[in-house]
Chain A
Amino acid sequence: MPSNRDADSAAIRQFVAAFADTWNSHDAHGVAMRYVEDGDFSSVKGESSHGRKELEDHYTTIFSTFLKNAHTTDTVRSIRFLAPDIASVDIDWLVTDPNAPGGVLRKGLLTWIVTKRNGQWMITIYHESTF
């Protein structure tokens, strides 16, 4: 149903914005909770974290080390529904840090698979690439 799709697309965009807010407050627990319990993360180098505990550890590490002054700006590029409750989302991302050369730490594409659980969109699979 197109109206559901529109509502879901809007909800997914809101979810991406909420994720960026949580990320920008460097709240490792909050970011990990945006994933489903057995969510999969893969870094720009293809290193993986699986499940909320590993995810929270991963975010705790990055927020206390090389990304401790980082700020992300995430812009949804496209959403493709694979099923009514499963979508693929492409997001242009830009990570800035006042101390980085030119102020830019990373830019590239986030590619997520999100799924709707109890009315709430969550990350099932997170991939990222830089270029």
Chain B
Amino acid sequence: MISNRLKMALAVFLFFSFSAAVSRAQTPAKMDADSAAIKQCVAAWEDAWNRHDAHATAMAYVEDGDFSSTTGVPSHGWKELEAHYNDIFTTFLKDAHRTDTVRSIRFLTPEIASVDIDWQMTGAKTRDGKDIPNRKGLLTWIVTKHNGQWMITIYHESAF
């Protein structure tokens, strides 16, 4: 006859084995869902940018989001971000169109991820009005999840 103590030990063992199996099964699925949501966030931002909607482009950031340009010039927070996008959409990037392709996503925690995005741009000009037929480079974002929504916390970009 199996002692009660052994039965209890077996129940505890089974419970923890089952929980471990469930959490192992959930983690990759959750990460897949979050990766898909992050890709959607990138696509939505790209759409807003291509409509030259400075407000919507800025609102993809968290309220105290950080942007840094290809020459390392920063903008901080919604007000500065919107002013920055207003400036570029009415001047040297007013005919520009971008294409963004997610290259990789690395989760730092379940709610913080680093995203590398290849970018290309047509129709851009330099600040002094010369055409740049094809710009390209890498966007490197830190995105964070707020109330189920992924947002840009830090935006860096490089051109090459």
Contact = CB atoms under 8 A, between A and B. Distances in A.
Dominant secondary structure at the A interface: strand
A109 B74 CA distance: 12
Contacts of A125: 106, 114, 140
Contact of A40 (B68, B106, B109, B118): B106
A125 B153 CA distance: 16
Interface stretch (A16-24, A41-49, A58-66): A41-49
Nearest to A108: B72
B116 interface: yes
Interface string A88-131: 10101000000000000000110101010000000011011111
B144 interface: yes
B50 interface: no
Interface residues of B, number: 24
B95 to A, nearest CB: 23
B160 A45 contact: yes
Interface residues of A, number: 24
Contacts of B71: 131
A109 B142 CA distance: 16
A83 B142 CA distance: 12
B156 A111 contact: yes
B109 A83 contact: yes
B115 to A, nearest CB: 11
Which residue, B66, B70, B106, B140, has most C-beta atoms of chain A within 10 A? B140
Contacts of A127: 138, 140, 156, 158
Given A80-B66, A82-B144, A82-B153, A42 B138 contact: yes
Interface of B: 66, 68, 70-72, 106, 108-109, 112, 114, 116, 118, 137-138, 140, 142, 144, 153-154, 156-160
Which 7 pairs, one residue from A and one from B, show the smallest C-beta to C-beta distance?
Answer: A129-B158, A46-B138, A131-B71, A109-B72, A127-B140, A111-B156, A45-B160
Interface of A: 40, 42, 44-46, 80, 82-83, 86, 88, 90, 92, 108-109, 111, 113, 115, 124-125, 127-131
